Structure 1
Amino acid sequence: MKIDSSRTPEPSPARAWWQHLYVQVLAAIVLGALIGHVWPTTGEALKPLGDAFIKLVKMVIAPVIFLSVVSGIAGMRDIAGVGQVAAKALGYFLVVSSGALFFGMAIANLVQPGRGLNIDPATLDPGAVADYVHKAHDTSVIGFLTDIIPTTLASALTDGSILQTLFVAILFGIALSLVGKPAAPVLDLVERLGLVIFRLVAMLMRLAPIGAFGAIAFTIGKFGIGTLATLGGLVATFYLTSLFFVLVVLGGIAWAHGFSVIRLIVYLRAELLLVLGTSSSEAALPSLIGKLEAAGCDRSIVGLVVPTGYSFNLDGTNIYMTLAALFIAQATNVSLSFDQQLALLGVAMLSSKGAAGVTGAGFITLAATLSIVPTVPVAGMALILGIDRFMSECRSLTNFMGNAVATIVVARWEGGLDRDRLAAVLASGQAIPLESIGNVIGEVKQ
């Protein structure tokens, strides 16, 4: 894809403040939380609204990834560049996500949020977390890797596996490139379908306030704000730790590569509020791909890095794992030596990859880690079961920002970043309207 660095995003027409998607989503979150708190039963009954919206978004994730990756790779002159991009992305993921594990462990030792609770493990109900432990045993690194290969080419687009879709898209894009000129009509069709799909994404995103409203009303109605009181220290520690990680660690990485993470947050504010409301980073995946492309990142790089990062670059989940594991140890008066903590961290590195992409991955990976490290009682997970939904939102937000930063960084490494366009987009402080993303991408490609 050729990027014309002389083009800058044209300002969008002035709109009333209440017409902005992020304002509508924020209002929906506040209203949903209020209804869930005042009328808990009604809040729980609104769960289908959130579930339906997430299903709608997941419906277009596979086409978005497939079309973006195929058109990007097919337009690359050097096919070897695909492997180079993947290798650099995985190297970045390994370093930063491992750093997140160390970061969570350091904060847990410094703050010690579980100290003084003096919980007797014998009084905890292991049955409360039995389902999560069972799912953890069902996952493994080898099983995870073999599951990347779909049963058929078509099933990669229908089974809902991000990595299967990415795997088939890479193969199809390479084959399309190798065929060359005879495949030009196919590539043209792929690119035109991409514009249609992004317009469809824009249509679905207009329903985001409804989805966020239903999801947050259910969360507050079922679990109640009161559940935060007993373990408020852990929740506050996790949120502040994640915020510090995003602003300082990811912010430092962004600064070193010539952009501001705060301006990036402003640019992606509508998606971040959507993630907050639905507690799912996948809900904003299609929009993230579109906005990063529109901000000047090469389509092939975005298509490779974002989906891969959703499975291998889970910074928020990794912070949560070590922080929660040490919280349980502190709460149950289990003393862990430095060597034991390092062993716990090593297991967490592996288990976080084995359960990647599984629903409720954060809690499942924690169960997998504690199952292998018997020093910390698995039953202790019952302590945080009630607040996990609230912590899931923070995990998703941190994961989302980690992947946004990673994509821009890898794009710059590969020379696939239009720096002038990115600077103009971030400096404007105004997100490109969703309905305009497809048109902007089409202009950048020309």
Structure 2
Amino acid sequence: MNYIKPLYVQVLLGILLGIILGFCLPETASSLKPLSDAFIKLIKMLIAPIIFLSLVSGIAAMNNLETVGKIGGAALVYFIITTAFALVVGLLVGDLVQPGAGLNIDPATLDVKTAEPYLGKATTAATPSDFLLNIIPQTFLSAFVDGEILQVLLVAMLFAIGLILVGKEGRIVLDGVQVLARIFFKIIHLVMHLAPIAAFAAMAFTIGKYGLKPLLNMMGLLLCFYVTCLVFVVGILGLILKLYCQMSVFKLLAYIKTELLIVLGTSSSETVLPNLLEKLEKLGCKKSTVGLVLPLGYSFNLDGTAIYLTLAALFIAQATNTDLSVWQQLSLLAVMIVSSKGAAGVAGSGFIVLASSLAAVGHVPVAGIVLILGIDRFMSDGRALTNVIGNSISTLIIAKWQGTLDEKRAREVLDSVTLQKNIQVSME
């Protein structure tokens, strides 16, 4: 029975059993969602303190504010470029493949009642200034209470800077922070044992509630989206990783396959953030770089969401026979560069951002989101997987760029990985 001992095998079994239950007993399967929700809530409960403690210990131990600024600046530049590129890729694929052409749907005939919760959120979408102000929490503790990643990052950076400025007197606090970080990672390891159950419940709920009908009806769009994400990850990000870091994207995928299966099962990239922090550090990235770049990427580097936004927008335009000029497509692109930053980690948030973007631009009928509402849960998996892979690759690239990557160790770890035997995070 040793072959089912690895966590990724248990998660894969959970996904397969969930699919079977969803087909055989859809009503029972549809009632299992609370199990996956409970797992996600447990992880989200631990994310804020883990980000805070990891970032504080990493930056304070670095003891160099200039280096922190360089890493943060480099990360933001990289994120803006890759996100814009992913949006353009989605736009180009939508124009070339035209997955919505020939549907000839009149927006006036669409029943928008099922999408009213999303349409309501779209009309109250935050402006760029609101987004920037939201980074600042009301109080020190509210960042942790609300679980806002960017707010926790800001608080952690300020606290770490304060520790550096205090000097030797802050050493005892730093030692305490490092001990607390180890404690929280031990808790995460315990919680991750529940991942197979969560994956089973989430997949059973999805199949039991939605079935395969939405998939069959929108197979063209789904295939177009997943193939585009695959080409982007392997052909673009993988090529950058190979040329710049001399690393194989396939070995990296094998290294984080447990996390990818958990994301596939739960449709949420937040569930694996703590594990990725630890795994990328074990891979040879400095703790300070991982602790800053990876959480920042969860808000600013969402490649899968970016591809989805432009591709889905063009699908709706084509399906409703809405002609978009080049300038209208460029204006849509500009809005989505900003709005995509609000789709961090949470399952289904990309759909809300899509509705918000369409409402802001006005060229594409917002009611058209009803067309993809039934398959959004299946597209959410692709978004989350691409986002996780993109942020893992970006952390390695930025770590090398800033000289905080142990390249020899990284290659040794990745070279020892095979599809049958992955280097596991210690579950002690």
Is TM (by shorter chain) over 0.5? yes
**Whole-angstrom CA distance in 2 between matches of 1:342 and 1:155:** 38
**Whole-angstrom CA distance in 2 between matches of 1:236 and 1:355:** 22
**Whole-angstrom CA distance in 1 between matches of 2:347 and 2:261:** 20
Q: 2:87 maps to what in 1?
A: 101
Cα deviation digits, residues 39-77 of structure 1 (max 9, x gap) = 111111110110000011111101110111000111113
Alignment of 1:41-440 (within 5 A): 41-136=27-122, 137-257=124-244, 258-354=246-342, 356=344, 360-429=348-417, 430-435=421-426
Shift of 1:224: 1.0
The answer to whether structure 1 residue 35 and structure 2 residue 21 are counterparts is: yes
The aligned amino acid for 1:432 is I
Secondary structure, aligned partner of 1:404: helix
Contact kept, 8 Å, 1:36 with 1:219, in 2: the verdict is: yes
The aligned amino acid for 2:179 is R
TM-score when normalising by structure 2: 0.96
Shift of 1:203: 1.0
**Whole-angstrom CA distance in 2 between matches of 1:51 and 1:354:** 21
**Whole-angstrom CA distance in 2 between matches of 1:272 and 1:391:** 15
Contact kept, 8 Å, 2:269 with 2:346, in 1: the verdict is: no
The aligned amino acid for 2:153 is L
Q: 1:443 maps to what in 2?
A: none
Task: Assess, with a 3 A threshold, how the Cα gap between structure 1 residues 214 and 243 changes in structure 2: closer, same or farther.
Answer: same
Cα deviation digits, residues 267-315 of structure 1 (max 9, x gap) = 0000000000000000111000010011110111111111111011010
Secondary structure, aligned partner of 1:415: coil
Pick which of 414-423 and 334-343 moved more. 334-343
Contact kept, 8 Å, 1:64 with 1:194, in 2: the verdict is: yes
**Whole-angstrom CA distance in 1 between matches of 2:233 and 2:44:** 26
**Whole-angstrom CA distance in 2 between matches of 1:256 and 1:297:** 18
Task: Assess, with a 3 A threshold, how the Cα gap between structure 1 residues 366 and 62 changes in structure 2: closer, same or farther.
Answer: same
Shift of 1:127: 2.9
**Whole-angstrom CA distance in 2 between matches of 1:286 and 1:305:** 13
Unaligned runs of 5+ residues in structure 2 are none
Cα deviation digits, residues 153-205 of structure 1 (max 9, x gap) = 22222221111111111111111111111111111111112122111111111
TM-score when normalising by structure 1: 0.92
Runs of 4+ in 1 over 6 A off after TM superposition: none
The aligned amino acid for 1:269 is K
The aligned amino acid for 1:113 is P
Shift of 1:356: 4.5
Unaligned runs of 5+ residues in structure 1 are 1-14, 439-446
Secondary structure, aligned partner of 1:180: helix
**Whole-angstrom CA distance in 2 between matches of 1:196 and 1:168:** 20
**Whole-angstrom CA distance in 1 between matches of 2:235 and 2:385:** 15
Indicate the percent of aligned positions where both proteins have the same amino acid. 54
**Whole-angstrom CA distance in 2 between matches of 1:194 and 1:23:** 28
Shift of 1:130: 2.2
Contact kept, 8 Å, 1:199 with 1:435, in 2: the verdict is: no
Number of residue-to-residue matches in the alignment: 423
Secondary structure, aligned partner of 1:75: helix
Pick which of 209-218 and 135-144 moved more. 135-144
Task: Assess, with a 3 A threshold, how the Cα gap between structure 1 residues 358 and 277 changes in structure 2: closer, same or farther.
Answer: closer
Contact kept, 8 Å, 1:144 with 1:355, in 2: the verdict is: no
The aligned amino acid for 1:119 is I
Cα deviation digits, residues 201-228 of structure 1 (max 9, x gap) = 1111111001111111111111112210
Shift of 1:332: 1.0
**Whole-angstrom CA distance in 1 between matches of 2:74 and 2:378:** 33
Shift of 1:413: 0.9
**Whole-angstrom CA distance in 2 between matches of 1:216 and 1:168:** 36
Q: CA RMSD in A?
A: 1.4
Secondary structure, aligned partner of 2:184: helix
Shift of 1:383: 0.4
Cα deviation digits, residues 86-107 of structure 1 (max 9, x gap) = 1100000000010000000111
The aligned amino acid for 1:225 is L
Secondary structure, aligned partner of 1:384: helix
Contact kept, 8 Å, 2:268 with 2:346, in 1: the verdict is: no
The aligned amino acid for 2:114 is A
**Whole-angstrom CA distance in 1 between matches of 2:230 and 2:343:** 24
Cα deviation digits, residues 9-52 of structure 1 (max 9, x gap) = xxxxxx92210111100000010011112211111111011000
Q: 1:26 maps to what in 2?
A: 12
Contact kept, 8 Å, 1:279 with 1:393, in 2: the verdict is: yes
Secondary structure, aligned partner of 1:264: helix
Contact kept, 8 Å, 2:299 with 2:342, in 1: the verdict is: no
The aligned amino acid for 2:19 is A
The aligned amino acid for 2:105 is I
Secondary structure, aligned partner of 1:216: helix
Task: Assess, with a 3 A threshold, how the Cα gap between structure 1 residues 394 and 434 changes in structure 2: closer, same or farther.
Answer: same
**Whole-angstrom CA distance in 2 between matches of 1:22 and 1:403:** 20
Shift of 1:358: 6.4
The aligned amino acid for 2:235 is V
Shift of 1:375: 2.3
Shift of 1:78: 1.6
Task: Assess, with a 3 A threshold, how the Cα gap between structure 1 residues 29 and 358 changes in structure 2: closer, same or farther.
Answer: closer
Contact kept, 8 Å, 1:140 with 1:355, in 2: the verdict is: no
